[in-house]
Amino acid sequence: MASGGDAALNTFDAVLANARIRAALDGVITIDSEGVVVEWNPAAERIFGYPAADAIGQRMSDLIVPEALRDSHRAGMKRFLTTKVGRVLDQRLEMPAITADGRAITIELTITSFEAGGKQWFTGWARDITEIKRTAEELARSQERFQSIVEHSSDVITILDGQGNWLYTSEAGVRLTGYPKGHDPAGGIFSLLHPDDMTLAVQTLQEVLAGTRGPDDSVELRVLDVNGNVLYFETTGVNLLDDPAVQGIVLHARDVTDRRLAEEELDVRTQQLAGVLGSIQLGVLVEDDRRHVAFVNEYFTELFDSPIAPDELIGLDCDHLALQVKDGFADPDGFILGIQRCISGSAPVGEEVTLADGRVLERDYVPVLAEGAAAGHIWLYRDITDRKQAELAREQLLEAEREARRSIEESQATLEEQNRSLLRLDRLKNELVATVSHELRTPLTSIVSFTQLLNSGDAMSASQREFVATIERNANRLIGLVNDLLLLARLESETFELDRQATDLGSLVKNTVSAHQPASDAKGVAVEVEVPA
């Protein structure tokens, strides 16, 4: 039996132990062998949300153990009570738990077992590490994201120490250079540089260390890949030796090999183009986006009689130049307005401008666009004076030809009118012939017939008979004239056939004189005929 002093001491120890449990920052939970809560300190109340009055007397598994783990929790306690072997006792465990409001948390739990009064008891010390766990997980994810960004970046990220020793290079360096991860040659990272760039690289590193080169001041360095090919890297550096998270010099290198090769090819093509443009008979002026001269060939300066060499025009303001040369044009103000129309996009292609000396130039304007915005202007001038003169001469020839054609057409119209008149006359003549043949032959035939009738009688004297014979002879002569008209018509229609007959020329002469004797007698002219038979 304990003495009074021992009992008082035991009571003091119990009170002190209880005070420590209540003041503990960790949740202290004590359960019996049936899993029923017998102790639930204020920290447990804060962690799990159950007041001690509600928790004590309840099975702990029903309070804080997730439903999916309750069976295995009960099986573990049963196994311990049977075998006295506990795999989770006196160990710091991380396990899920649930709170009074159903919220899932993560706790760090240490379980101890002891016997008292012939019974088995279990005490757990629980600490809510949900936020710590979440923070650690976020930090791990952040580190993973950072590592992933660095490793998958198209830029090569390299870290050197203060002496320039190679500490780290991102995956892009492996991908671009072909060297395996962790490759560390005897000469360090500088041994991968082109020998001609070694001095520049060392100087750049010293400037980064000294703080005289900022993170935006890039330098272009050549690196030899695993096959000895040259790669161009645009490199910047930042001194983070004082940053405890880095403690190094961080280099950012971007592969600009394709751009550099393209620039070199562009330089070659530009030189070739400049050679071509310098030799063609075409004045070329190229302006940049500020309308300053970027290129001009020699023929351009010759066209405008410029005393300034092409190289001396580079960089000059084109607006100012235009004002200086405008008086060399026949229409100075029109020349300036034409430039403004071209830039605004309202001028025609192949616009002609006339110089004050009479020469004619043809001007083409080509805008240079980059991503839809104006990046420059190209002006092309060609001397078309000879062509314009040839066109004028051709136009004059065409006009002369048109005039000649009009004259020929007028002459042809006159001839056609004359032909129509002749056709009308021919029709009149044919009508006249028809009339003569019809209207004259009939009465003449009657006259001849009656004269023959008169000559058949004996009542006329010799002189009368001679008169009647004259009438008959002249009537026959008229009939002959009618026949001549008909003969002429047949000749014109090419239907005439000759009927050759013997003719008494003496009788023809006598008859002709006799036919004209009345007229000769009236004028007192005597005609005598003496012809042989």
pLDDT in tens, 312-354: 888 899 888 888 888 889 998 988 888 888 888 776 677 888 9
The mean per-residue pLDDT over the stretch 157-175 comes to 81
The mean per-residue pLDDT over the stretch 172-185 comes to 81
Amino acid at 37: V
Distance CA 444, CA 253 (A): 134
Per-residue CA distances from 383 to 355, 357, 366, 387, 483 (Å): 10, 13, 18, 9, 81
pLDDT at 531 over 80: yes
pLDDT, tens digit (0-9, with 9 covering 90-100), for 210-241: 888 888 888 889 998 889 899 998 899 888 88
Distance CA 286, CA 300 (A): 11
Structure pTM? 0.40
pLDDT at 159 over 80: yes
- Determine what percent of the chain is predicted with pLDDT higher than 90: 10
Q: For strands 351-354 and 293-296, give the pairing.
A: unpaired
Can you state the angle between helices 462-492 and 385-435, rounded to 10 degrees? 150
Tell me, what's the pLDDT at 9?
A: 52
Distance CA 459, CA 55 (A): 195
Distance CA 278, CA 63 (A): 93
The mean per-residue pLDDT over the stretch 436-452 comes to 76
pLDDT, tens digit (0-9, with 9 covering 90-100), for 140-149: 776 666 666 6
Distance CA 334, CA 356 (A): 13
Tell me, what's the pLDDT at 312?
A: 87
Tell me, what's the pLDDT at 46?
A: 92
Tell me, what's the pLDDT at 37?
A: 93
Tell me, what's the pLDDT at 51?
A: 94
Mean pLDDT for all residues in the chain:
83
Tell me, what's the pLDDT at 29?
A: 92
pLDDT, tens digit (0-9, with 9 covering 90-100), for 277-320: 656 678 888 888 888 988 888 888 888 888 888 888 888 998 88
Question: Which of 165-179, 219-233, 265-279, 435-449 has the least mean pLDDT?
Answer: 265-279
pLDDT, tens digit (0-9, with 9 covering 90-100), for 88-136: 788 888 889 999 999 999 999 888 888 888 888 889 889 998 888 888 7
E-strand ranges in 148-247 read 156-160, 166-169, 219-224, 230-240
- Determine what percent of the chain is predicted with pLDDT higher than 70: 90
Residue 1 pLDDT level (bands cut at 50, 70, 90): very low
pLDDT, tens digit (0-9, with 9 covering 90-100), for 239-251: 888 888 778 888 8
pLDDT, tens digit (0-9, with 9 covering 90-100), for 365-386: 888 887 777 778 888 888 889 8
Q: Which residue has the higher pLDDT, 67 or 461?
A: 67
Tell me, what's the pLDDT at 142?
A: 66
- Token pair, residue 119, equals 């019974």
**SS3 assignment, position 532:** coil
Tell me, what's the pLDDT at 2?
A: 47
